Amino acid sequence: MGDPVWQWSAVRTAAAIREGEISAEAVAEAHLERMRAANPAVNAVVVDMSEEALAAARATDRARARGRRLDALAGVPITIKENVDFEGRPNLNGVAANAPLVAPAHAPVVANLLGAGATCLGLTNTPEFSMRAHTDNPVHGETRNPWDASITCGGSSGGAGAATALGIGCIGHGNDIGGSLRWPAHCNGLATIRPTQGRVPAFNPSAPSERTMMAQMMSTQGPMAREVADVRLGLSVMARRDARDPFQVPAPLEGSEVPKRAILAKVPEEMEADPGVMGIVRAAADRLADAGWAVEERALPDVPGLFRLWADVLINEMDVSAGAGMLSVGSEDFAEVWGAYKAFSRELDLRGFVAACAERITRQRAWMALLEERPVILTPCSLQPTWAPGADLGGPETVRRLFAEHLTFISIFNLLGLPTAAVPAGLLDGRPVGVQLTATRFREDVALDAAEAVEDGVLCRALWAREDA
């Protein structure tokens, strides 16, 4: 007996619909049935778009019956994170006060996905203002990790992560300014990529003002999936041109061959790493070596300093541009977490902020030189086992420690602007552990090639097997 349709990859699903093996409507019905069965326990999809999904699937079937050429994602079920504009719907971003922000048009990433024929099942949960590493908000409530409710599903794309792991959609849309794709991918056993800034167009027509400078430079849109091949497919569609983003760069998605030389990052002395986690990271490095990559373990340039710089420039800018506004409508939990963020970042005056932004370029230059020598850098997603839901409500010192021990290797690549893939590497006590593969600017193909070398099957099959046990 074959795998259930909802377990199929995006690549397989798209091919099966194109070739007439299955109808798009049957695919949509299978995923919607899965959503009805699995979503109530985790609260990942918070806006049900079943009727729209079936209508879109039937339109795909009619197009195929008329002999029309189907686009890359025709009939492939996806989800969209509820912090980008979906025409006609409020962009809540986890905040009830955002209800008047009804999207007058699709955001570019939504337009690209739907324009390629994807079938949107629904919108996924995100924390307030997409500003926590755990997904919970007063509007929709908490999203639970499908592997283990005692650990976080991650954030801010935690709803997308939990849904995709469960088989609700083949590809989940998310975004990332400090780890909001890679952290939930790690927590839920998924693959993803934080693309180079400018690869995927971004714009919210409902936004009352433009994004600030650090958001322009560090925030990216990307796909989450159960297999690296699906991440590659999703990225190819998301990256289609949209003139509304002046920062989008029409760079090719594939480049010339690079030497297969990689760095396995040493953990800085001031950071504590769990032996079980690091055992999985080293096993991933061994798989990379087995695939023909020469892997050298070495220290990376001032990782703790990079993390501090990321926190300083991002939190200071957000505080000046939006801090008071967010606090005026956010919950007590949000206020507590925001206060903790401000406590572990240094308060900068204008001169200090300008100097910090300039320092970013110096650091980028050093890492670009390193990647010329070794085109891939392998790092942990997290140095410690995944924390509990709500652990970020433990006060400023707890939050500083959580970020320093868990997210440092994730957040620094937003500051550096480098494409970074995450891929499941194994299970620790039955919970997923991922690793990151970073390449130079606009070489997402190299990062994904390395991720495919590390990939060891579909980790989520272990999750689904529990249901059959």
Convert the pLDDT of each residue in 355-378 to its tens digit.
999 999 999 999 999 999 999 999
Convert the pLDDT of each residue in 183-219 to its tens digit.
999 999 999 999 999 999 999 999 999 999 998 999 9
Task: Provide the pLDDT confidence category of residue 2 given band limits of 50, 70 and 90.
Answer: confident
Q: What is the pLDDT of residue 33?
A: 98
Q: How far apart are the first and last CA of the chain?
A: 17
One-character DSSP codes across 296-316: EEE--TTHHHHHHHHHHHHHH
* Residue given tokens 């970042």 in the structure block: 345
pLDDT at 255 over 70: yes
Q: Is 382 within 8 Å of 426 (Cβ atoms)? A: no
CATH number of the CATH domain containing 264: 3.90.1300.10
Rounded to whole angstroms, the Cα distance separating 455 from 460 reads 12
Instruction: Give catalytic status of residue 342 as yes or no.
Output: no
Candidate list 180, 219, 345, 411, residue with the active-site label: 180
Rounded to whole angstroms, the Cα distance separating 97 from 136 reads 16
Convert the pLDDT of each residue in 264-303 to its tens digit.
999 999 999 999 999 999 999 999 999 999 999 999 999 9
Contacts of 180 (CB under 8 A, 6+ apart): 130, 155, 156, 157, 174
For residue 230, the tally of other CB atoms under 10 A from its CB is 24
Instruction: Give catalytic status of residue 260 as yes or no.
Output: no
User: For the chain, how many structural domains are there in total?
Assistant: 1
Q: Is 162 within 8 Å of 42 (Cβ atoms)? A: yes
What's the whole-number average pLDDT of the chain? Answer: 97
- Give the residue-averaged pLDDT of 374-390: 98
The secondary structure of 320-389, three-state, reads HHHHHHHHHHCCHHHHHHHHHHHHHCCCCCHHHHHHHHHHHHHHHHHHHHHHHHCCEEEEECCCCCCCCC
pLDDT at 1 over 70: no
- In this structure, is the dihedral angle defined by the CA atoms of residues 293, 298, 300 and 303, taken in order, positive or negative? positive
- Give the residue-averaged pLDDT of 62-89: 98
Residue, of 18 and 270, whose pLDDT is higher? 18
Q: What is the pLDDT of residue 469?
A: 75
CA dihedral of residues 388, 132, 404, 379 (deg, nearest 10): 90
Percent of the chain at pLDDT > 90 equals: 98
Indicate the pairing of strand 261-265 with strand 376-380: parallel
Q: What is the pLDDT of residue 174?
A: 98
| Domain that includes residue 172, residue range | 5-468
Convert the pLDDT of each residue in 102-157 to its tens digit.
999 999 999 999 999 999 999 999 999 999 999 999 999 999 999 999 999 999 99
Q: What is the pLDDT of residue 468?
A: 83
Q: Which amino acid is at 173?
A: H
Residues belonging to the chain: 469
Q: What is the pLDDT of residue 406?
A: 87
φ/ψ (deg, to 5) at 169: 90, 150
Task: Provide the pLDDT confidence category of residue 404 given band limits of 50, 70 and 90.
Answer: confident
Convert the pLDDT of each residue in 49-66 to its tens digit.
999 999 999 999 999 999
Give the DSSP letter of residue 430.
T
- Give the residue-averaged pLDDT of 415-441: 98
Convert the pLDDT of each residue in 222-250 to its tens digit.
999 999 999 999 999 999 999 999 999 99
Candidate list 9, 23, 81, 157, residue with the active-site label: 81
Candidate list 156, 206, 382, 411, residue with the active-site label: 156
Q: Which amino acid is at 61?
A: D
Cα 232 off chain centre by: 13
- Listed residue (235, 238, 198, 192) closest to 381, CA to CA: 192
Rounded to whole angstroms, the Cα distance separating 65 from 219 reads 40
Indicate the pairing of strand 191-194 with strand 220-225: antiparallel
- Give the residue-averaged pLDDT of 338-347: 96
